[in-house]
Amino acid sequence: MGLQDARERWVRTGGIELCVAELGDPARPSVVLVHGYPDSKEVWSEVAARLADRFHVVLYDVRGHGRSSAPKPLRGGFTLEKLTDDFLAVADAVSPDRPVHLVGHDWGSVQSWEFVTVARTEGRIASFTTVAGPSLDHFGHWIKKRTARPTPRRLGQLAGQSAKSWYVLALHTPVLPELAWHGPLGRRWPGALERLERMPRGDYPTASLPRDAAHGAWLYRDNVRARLARPRPDAYAHAPVQLITPTGDHFLSQRVYDDLETWAPGLTRRTITAGHWVPRTRPDQLADWIGDFAMSREGGAAAGGAGVRSGAGVVGSGAAAVGSGAGVVGSGATAVRSGGRDPYAERFGGRLVLVTGAASGIGRATALAFAKAGARIVAVDRDAEGAIATAGTARLIGSPMARAETADVGDTEAMEKLAEKVAAEYGVVDVLVNNAGIGLSGSFLETGPEDWKNVLDVNLWGVVHGCRLFGRQMAERGQGGHIVNIASAAAYQPTKGLPAYSASKAAVLMLSQCLRAELAGRGIGVSAICPGLINTNIAATARFVGVDAAEERRLRKKASQFYRRRDYPPEKVADAVLRAVLRNRAVVPVTPEARGALLLSRFAPRLLRAVARVDPPL
């Protein structure tokens, strides 16, 4: 998607002609998007298109880039002071009577930090969203703090960022960067981005790339050494700041933002599983967070207060704010205020999470854990009342949107209808948790074909349906995601009393590992969670084959009592699920017995086979 429908104007400032593009209704709040290096404004095209139905969106080519003219001479023409002049000229031209919402990526963020911390822009910026670009002043203080009082940890952080910043030194060398960009580097850059960032080809990069990159080298030469050596002591933000940190940034360590609350009190933090060029690889999520943060500064009423985003679901009423002073957050994302850092809220706030088997046990606990982190929840269960209760609790504890859906995960047609409905009404799922499962106990010889069908329909086919339908939607969207499959320690711990149940969970574990390999190249993680004995109602509802009804009731009661005495709560499994997604873990045993059995399966399988002869509690 390009900017071919944008309205174009030229803004003159200090002898420079800036090319400015606008989308959306000028009567709405203005969002100004500032690009980085070696980009032009087209890097924002996908995000801009997604914001244009709610905001007046403004993009401009930074001086010397795209269609904007370059200063003469180049040396001294790209200082932060002159870049601030450019921003003020654009803001005055496009939104003379009200402050703008500022968004910067990479060097666009570096210069935007200057805009939001100098006195002469005060009152012109309503909010600032920074993506993958620190303030040079803050970075300078970060370096000084680590060199003034060095510790192994601080020196390690400094060394890590220094290794990532090798290109800064290269750009300070005379002539060579210009020759490289006009030569082989310029030709190979699009392919390098496609391989390194999994960036889809489109209207970016533009044909002006070699010229933009050559001119942009002066951004570094005119500013970096001077500011890092003498960072301003008063570089405090005078507008609310939202920090979006890509976890896979090849150029910036997440540690450079550790001290940011000092400079931006009330900072809102977000993390996203992506590389450096988030505007191209994750435009949906980025547009959501930018829009939600701007709307929170506008009283949640931007775009006429519609409360609806295409593909994101209806939010409107029931939107919640988490953290003191967070304000009202519209359209589905919950604001996450630092002041106790919450990595789950930073990562999952506003994300769409679907959990099957959500009416009780591990499914309910997992749905509520994501809800507490500010995620939007779709609670799925064939128990309609239980799913509705889970969704209601999720809204009460922090989810900006929680809906209940009824479906039998083993029913192919029902799951296909569910996937279509979720995509149409709520959007593409960011995290899928295939949790629904049933228990079946008894010897292999007593387990009939219908028993096998029942347990495999739910425990295996339910996972297959979820992965196939929602995983395909994630892959087609092309913006990553995560699939969590709840397996069991029984997947790798054989037992004579659970052949059908163990076989179904072993299949889930292997499916998860195969799918993880297949989807890794699409930015989609897959985790298999393997709990041991968890205090849920699975024992009370399990089938016991080969016995009469009275004996089955007795065995259910005995197994339930055993699980209650074990008393390992499902909330701990839910926490393991969130950690697995946060860290992209492959196989996660949860309880001590699950971890022990996994260890034995790898190093003492004969002992594990001996244990299999003991009658199980279920």
Number of H helices, E strands in the chain: 23, 19
CA distance 370 to 432: 11
CA distance 407 to 355: 12
CB 167 within 8 A of CB 38: no
CA distance 168 to 159: 14
State both tokens at 33.
């998007």
Number of other residues whose CB lies within 10 A of the CB of residue 247: 14
CA distance 476 to 419: 14
Tell me how far CA of residue 437 lies from CA of 299, 356, 405, 444, in angstroms: 43, 9, 17, 19
Apex CA 392: angle with CA 390 and CA 396, to 5°? 115
CB 588 within 8 A of CB 576: yes
State both tokens at 372.
């507490």
Strand runs labelled E in 216-329: 241-246, 268-272, 308-309, 313-314
SS3 of residue 135 by DSSP: coil
State both tokens at 398.
């922090």
- Can you name the residues that pair with 16 across neighbouring β-strands? 13
Tell me how far CA of residue 5 lies from CA of 22, 31, 48, 49, 52, in angstroms: 9, 17, 11, 10, 11
CB 126 within 8 A of CB 294: yes
> Locate tokens 């930090």: which residue?
113
CA distance 476 to 158: 39
Q: Catalytic site residue 37?
A: no
Cis peptide before 71 (omega within 30 of 0): no
State both tokens at 69.
């003219």
SS3 of residue 434 by DSSP: strand
Q: 451: burial class by Cβ within 10 Å (0-12, 13-18, 19+)?
A: middle
- Can you name the residues that pair with 101 across neighbouring β-strands? 31, 127
State both tokens at 301.
């009423």
Write down the catalytic residue from 257, 501, 563, 568. 501
CA distance 315 to 306: 9
CB 425 within 8 A of CB 352: no
Apex CA 146: angle with CA 142 and CA 151, to 5°? 150
CB 395 within 8 A of CB 334: no
CB 22 within 8 A of CB 95: no
State both tokens at 256.
């450079």
Q: Which residues have a catalytic role annotated?
A: 501
